[in-house]
Amino acid sequence: MIRYNPEGLTSREVAESRERHGDNVITPPKDDSAWRLLAEKFRDPIIRILLLAAVLSLAIGFVHKDFTESIGIICAIILATCVGFWFEWDAQRRFRRLNRVNDDVAVKVMRDGAIREIPRREVVVGDVVYVESGETVPADGELVEAVSLKINESTLTGEPEVDKTVDEAHFDPEATYPSNVVMRGTTVADGYGVMVVTAVGDASEAGRVTEQATVQNDEQTPLDRQLTRLSQLIGRVGIALSVLIFCVMLGKALFLGDLLEQDWLTVSQQVLHIFMVSVAIIVMAVPEGLPMSITLSLAMSMRRMLRTNNLVRKMHACETMGAVTVICTDKTGTLTQNRMHVQELVRYDDLPERDFAEIVALNSTAFLDAGGHIIGNPTEGALLEWLRGRGEDYEPLRAGAKIVDRLTFSTERKYMATIIESGVSGRRILCVKGAPEIVRAMCAADGCDERIAAQLLGFQNHAMRTLAVAWAETQASECLGAVAAGGLRFSAVAAILDPVREDVPAAVRQCLNAGIGVKIVTGDTPATAREIARQIGLWDDAHDTDRNHITGAEFAAAGDEELLDRVQELKIMSRARPLDKQRLVRLLQQKGEVVAVTGDGTNDAPALNFANVGLSMGSGTSVAKDASDITLLDDSFASIATAVMWGRSLYRNIQRFVLFQLTINFAAILICFVGAVFGTDMPLTVVQILWVNIIMDTFAAMAMASLPPSAEVMGDRPRPRDEFIITPAMARTIFTCGGVMVLALLGMLFGWTFSEEGMTVRRLTLFFSTFVFFQFWNMFNAKGFETRHSVFTCLKGCREFFLILLAIAVGQVLIVELGGEVFRTVPLTWREWAEVICLTSLLAAGGEAVRALRRRKNA
């Protein structure tokens, strides 16, 4: 037992307690500094390989006095890192405002024998604190007095209303927290209590939860893992190619040239030239536009998702949502409306409707505000809403009657009673409502026992709260005496439910069809949790068993090995405590799952932090929001399905850009390799290469990032956690399209080089235009990757994509027609333009034909 002194602590004891246990302040999470956020951008594997390429390119630039490629790579690095940094820093700045907890709220305490008000931050362990309806509990404590006390524990357990008592005979053995214990951050829904503080600040339950919400999570995102593998592949391929070219060119110079006959200085210069050409291959192999493409895609998705009520705080969460395989969701406020509603009310007497409405309205302490929101006890408020829905306004009924005596609800009594002077009938009436079994025992025999029992059982099987209403004429002036006299008439049973949101069943079904598992984690009773799962289509009594449902106590008692064998089969965890959800997330991640967690309370913060994607509710606590990656502004589970669609579409767009750029890289490297081996120089000037790089990087990145999300991705299964970003289908397209480009371009190159006329400026212009328009048409092949429709559909939704293509085509024509000596071009005739466009368009036409045949085959 705790030490309780009705006189409270003395000033000396307060100082000693503060010295020993600290202030009642929860340490806020520390924001990342701007420098750290910027440094984080350089941990990207592709950025790191770009930095190496920039160093090598600078080395070549100093030798050849040409820094064009180096400047391009450095600009790509700066753009990719700074754009990502700006969006995340801006999001962090906005969220910083959400994490300010007001620790100066006045709290009533007993000190030195007198009641006084002090700021909440000054409460210490051992303080005697008084709490009443509407107030927030300032710290963890043990009750020494409780009168009709109800606590809203939804921020910790999801329970909107929990009875509290100091009478051990009425303790609830299934309660998440003991019936005589109250927790910091919960609110008093009804009644009055006196508590002795047992824990303050970080030592409180809310403090421990917040601490876990700020622990660094080193779980790597799926995209990071895939980019790491891609960068490793590019590095190995680039180095292998450069070594191969160095050996081939050196061997050619040694055995087919006159290198051995030259002096050592000439030999050194030629070997250095061969080395620089080899290093240039590494630089060319690096897709410097990839980080910018990913950043642009994430940034554009971040802004667009805001229109669908998904406020993204951390950029990579946009894409990670597409890889999610499991969603762990709480119940109250996420699946349900967090608003009590009278589902059904069954009458058992012939009392006129107006008289019955008066009994309900007067035997209640709740109110409805102008907007219809409940003020006070949510269960009583649900009855007032039911009255209003039937055209009966409680306010005139209360104004027309007089209250003689009232007995508030208590855990011990389990009923509320009020004696009124009726304004409807003029009679003195005893009004009673409460637990059906208690109220029924007060009533006279009426032959309805079996009917009432059957009705109650039906309601309880559907996890509804039941409330009975009874009345009797009386001459008494005190409720206790009137109730003790008995003989009441049993009037009605109300079945009260926190209804499921209308859009949730469809959203859950969409997630299940997309191969995503859904698990409910709630502080509610097992029966309520199962019923909600049934209503949203997650639970089937014919197939699901106890193996699919676990309570928080069972979960805490089980070892990790036992749970790992079962965790993927779980659908429901009831009576869960705050850290249970975090442990569940960790276990699921150990089984290879990519986990998203939804929540709105402080209890959800640790799991939100440790999940691959944390989704907080817009109406949730600041701690939950700060721990999350995405905030659902409309609190709707349906927005989660939308976020998954965005994430999958975003990943598909990133794959399309990789496909486009690696096809061009493959063609350029192969042409460079063949040209180096056979002694044919690359027929593109530095300025032309700069324009080609702009197309490959900026324009292509913008085009692919602008493609809208597609609902068809929700028909796919989640991609494997460690899937390589380059799929076999992508590899086939890269080698096929790249091979066609290489054959056509090398044919032009060798045909003209070894002809009598040789390479003229007009032919070089044709080569340059052919190379660019191959990229132009290859955009269509990239857009059509993994789609179930033609690339020419969705014209309105892809307006930006086609505008960018138009900009490329117009830009190329202007450069050729007006570029002159700067771009080393001459104007082409309309016939030559037609030949270039028709020849290169075969690349897109062939790709569309292949995809059409594949769609017909799979239909």
| Residue type for position 823 | F
**CA separation for the pair 702, 293 (Å, rounded):** 7
Residue pair 548/572 in contact (Cβ under 8 Å)? The answer is yes
**CA separation for the pair 456, 346 (Å, rounded):** 10
**CA separation for the pair 380, 436 (Å, rounded):** 15
Helix (H) or strand (E) holding 141: strand 140-153
Residue pair 81/51 in contact (Cβ under 8 Å)? The answer is no
Residue 605 CA: distances (Å) to CA of 155, 464, 627: 10, 28, 6
Q: Give the DSSP letter string of 443-466.
A: BPP-S-HHHHHHHHHHHHHTT-EE
Q: 365: which 2 tokens?
A: 């302490």
Sign of torsion over alpha carbons 250, 251, 256, 259: positive
**CA separation for the pair 50, 799 (Å, rounded):** 32
**CA separation for the pair 361, 393 (Å, rounded):** 8
**CA separation for the pair 472, 442 (Å, rounded):** 10
Contacts of 278 (CB under 8 A, 6+ apart): 242, 243, 245, 246, 249
- Residues pairing with 493 in the sheet: 346, 468
**CA separation for the pair 745, 663 (Å, rounded):** 14
Query: According to the 3-state scheme, what is the secondary structure of 199-213?
Result: ECHHHCHHHHHHHHH
Residue pair 406/476 in contact (Cβ under 8 Å)? The answer is no
Report the length, in residues, of the chain. 859
**CA separation for the pair 61, 66 (Å, rounded):** 5
Contacts of 168 (CB under 8 A, 6+ apart): 180
Contacts of 470 (CB under 8 A, 6+ apart): 432, 433, 439, 442, 443, 488, 489, 490, 491
Q: 797: which 2 tokens?
A: 């939704």
**CA separation for the pair 374, 378 (Å, rounded):** 6
| Residue type for position 658 | V
Q: In what order do the strands lie in the sheet with 415-421?
A: 341-347, 489-497, 465-473, 428-434, 415-421, 402-407
Select which of 127, 140, 190, 330 is catalytic.
Answer: 330
Reported as half-sphere exposure (CB side, CA atoms, 13 A), residue 739 has a value of 6
Residue 536 CA: distances (Å) to CA of 312, 498, 499, 523: 26, 13, 11, 18
Q: 64: which 2 tokens?
A: 């050849």
Contacts of 529 (CB under 8 A, 6+ apart): 331, 463, 520, 522, 549, 572, 573, 574
Please state the φ and ψ torsions of residue 699, each to the nearest 5 degrees.
Answer: -65, -45
Packing angle of the helix pair 222-255, 45-64 (nearest 10 deg): 30
Contacts of 407 (CB under 8 A, 6+ apart): 413, 415, 416, 417, 418, 479, 480, 483
Neighbours of 224 (CB within 10 A): 16
Does residue 580 have an active-site annotation? no
Q: How far apart are the first and last CA of the chain?
A: 72
**CA separation for the pair 111, 307 (Å, rounded):** 53
Geometric angle at alpha carbon 528, from 527 and 531, rounded to 5°:
85
**CA separation for the pair 761, 819 (Å, rounded):** 12
> Which residues does the annotation mark as catalytic?
330
